């Protein structure tokens, strides 16, 4: 399987100008101008006038379905492959949520493995909202070492559904994650669902002041509450990574506004990411503000807000890292988040209006000319 993408304007995510990109099997084999290649079964792709970007990485998706707070009928369904493809998401991290009973961690692992088999790259965080964490092997360290897909642990803080652990308990958990990651050759992170109850960032500050490395602490939903967002900015200025959720509630008019506010506040651009919180349940309201039903949180909101930021005049190479390089570097996903020689062949092709036309994941064509070619096992 080999493709030669000709004359694309490449953002890798840095602006590389017009380039040819050679893909062999699942890797980018060469990048240059006017490449001449002779290979069996080589397919040429004319990308003149097209914009090429890395495939997007969504580090927070409820792949097995979220919801459940309203009883069994309120559980949202599992995600299907085509939802990811149609918004350019080629890599993801699956998470569990409130329902830690009917949505088990082994089920999460199986779904992550299924999505990987279907064509994208998928990882997961073990556990859910709870403390002590719900693991696969009975140990955070063992999960990190023995399960390739596990990048860290999820927990909820400052939320009425969380366990409200003490600072010492969170520090003990972080120590397990750090040591487990060292043994497994992974970074090891604590992925933290933030509610709007104050106290989480004060806890992080205490932990970092004691000497614990800030790079293992990964708060998400940082813009759902103005107070929490203010504390997140302080955390970011200290060198912590902050993740802004593009789906669900937001204290700003749009998540794009929150990203701009973080940039304006002076947070290092490389420390800011976006994720969708896809397949969580989303309440639907009538004109009187009464809840009339539940919907499913989509994953296309990442692409929506990326396009919104670009439309506001921000440089493409400033915006793209929010969903590509910044995420990959933060989670140490080697070969992901960039289009460069030796990297995984995950990329998107857009027209000049930023309409998504082609998606490739691990070198395979998933979408061509706006038509989805690869769907999940049960979508056909």
Q: What are the residue numbers of the active site?
A: 277
Read off the DSSP letter of residue 240: -
Please choose, from the candidates 81, 2, 97, 95, the residue with its C-alpha nearest in 3D space to the C-alpha of residue 41: 2
| Joined tokens for residue 70 | 């309203």
Vertex 131 angle, CA 323 and 57, to 5°: 10
- Under 8 Å between Cβ of 139 and 183: no
Please choose, from the candidates 216, 232, 191, 217, the residue with its C-alpha nearest in 3D space to the C-alpha of residue 60: 191
Please choose, from the candidates 277, 267, 217, the residue with its C-alpha nearest in 3D space to the C-alpha of residue 244: 277
- Under 8 Å between Cβ of 316 and 306: no
What beta strand segments (E) does 12-96 contain?
A: 15-24, 27-32, 42-46, 51-54, 56-61, 89-94
- Residue 191 annotated as lining a ligand binding site: no
- Residue 226 annotated as lining a ligand binding site: no
- Residue 68 annotated as lining a ligand binding site: yes
- Residue 131 annotated as lining a ligand binding site: no
* Cα–Cα distance, 314 to 200 (Å, whole number): 32
> For the chain, how big is the Rg over CA atoms in Å?
20
- Residue 69 annotated as lining a ligand binding site: yes
- Residue 129 annotated as lining a ligand binding site: yes
* Cα–Cα distance, 50 to 36 (Å, whole number): 20
Vertex 350 angle, CA 348 and 353, to 5°: 155
- Residue 9 annotated as lining a ligand binding site: no
Place of tokens 């979408």: 367
- Residue 245 annotated as lining a ligand binding site: no
CA 149 to each of CA 80, 124, 131, 282, 331: distance values in angstroms, whole numbers, following the listed order: 19, 6, 21, 28, 12
- Residue 121 annotated as lining a ligand binding site: no
- Residue 154 annotated as lining a ligand binding site: yes
What beta strand segments (E) does the chain contain?
A: 2-11, 15-24, 27-32, 42-46, 51-54, 56-61, 89-94, 121-126, 150-157, 189-194, 217-220, 242-245, 272-275, 281-285, 291-296, 347-350, 356-361, 364-368, 371-372
- Residue 62 annotated as lining a ligand binding site: yes
* Cα–Cα distance, 95 to 102 (Å, whole number): 14
| Joined tokens for residue 281 | 């349940």
- Residue 193 annotated as lining a ligand binding site: yes
CA 60 to each of CA 16, 155, 303: distance values in angstroms, whole numbers, following the listed order: 29, 13, 14
Q: Annotated binding residues, as ranges? A: 60, 62, 67-69, 98, 129, 154, 161, 193, 221, 224, 277, 281
Q: Annotated binding residues for substrate, as ranges? A: 67-69, 98, 129, 161, 224, 281
Q: Annotated binding residues for Zn(2+), as ranges? A: 60, 62, 154, 193, 221, 277
């Amino acid at each position: 399987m080999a493709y030669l993408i000709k004359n694309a304007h490449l953002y890798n995510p840095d602006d590389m100008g017009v380039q040819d990109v050679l893909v062999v099997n699942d890797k980018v084999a060469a990048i240059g101008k006017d490449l001449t290649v002779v290979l069996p079964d080589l397919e040429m792709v004319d990308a003149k006038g097209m914009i090429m970007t890395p495939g997007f990485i969504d580090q927070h998706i409820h792949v097995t379905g979220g919801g459940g707070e309203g009883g069994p009928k309120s559980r949202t369904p599992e995600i299907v492959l085509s939802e990811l493809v149609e918004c350019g998401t080629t890599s993801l991290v699956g998470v569990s949520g409130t329902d830690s009973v009917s949505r088990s961690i082994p089920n999460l692992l199986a779904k992550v493995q299924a999505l990987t088999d279907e064509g994208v790259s998928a990882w997961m965080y073990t556990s859910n909202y709870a403390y002590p964490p719900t693991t696969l092997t009975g140990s955070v360290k063992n999960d990190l070492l023995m399960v390739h897909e596990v990048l860290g642990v999820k927990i909820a803080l400052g939320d009425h559904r969380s366990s409200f652990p003490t600072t010492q308990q969170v520090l003990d958990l972080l120590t397990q994650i750090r040591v487990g990651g060292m043994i497994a050759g992974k970074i090891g992170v604590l992925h933290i669902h933030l509610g709007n109850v104050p106290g989480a960032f004060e806890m992080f500050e205490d932990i970092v002041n004691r000497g614990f490395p800030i790079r293992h602490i990964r708060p998400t939903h940082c813009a759902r509450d103005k107070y929490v967002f203010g504390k997140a900015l302080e955390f970011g200025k200290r060198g912590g990574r902050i993740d802004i959720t593009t789906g669900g509630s937001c204290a700003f008019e749009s998540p794009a506004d929150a990203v701009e506010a973080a940039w304006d506040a002076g947070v290092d651009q490389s420390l800011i990411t976006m994720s969708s919180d896809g397949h969580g349940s989303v309440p639907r309201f009538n004109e009187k503000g009464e809840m009339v039903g539940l919907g499913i949180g989509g994953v296309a909101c990442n692409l929506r807000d990326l396009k919104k930021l670009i439309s506001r005049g921000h440089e493409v190479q400033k915006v793209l890292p929010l969903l590509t390089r910044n995420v990959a570097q933060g989670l140490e996903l080697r070969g992901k988040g960039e289009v460069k020689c030796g990297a995984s062949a995950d990329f998107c092709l857009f027209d000049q209006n930023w309409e998504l036309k082609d998606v490739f994941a691990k070198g395979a064509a998933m979408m061509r000319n706006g038509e989805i070619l690869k769907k999940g096992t049960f979508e056909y």
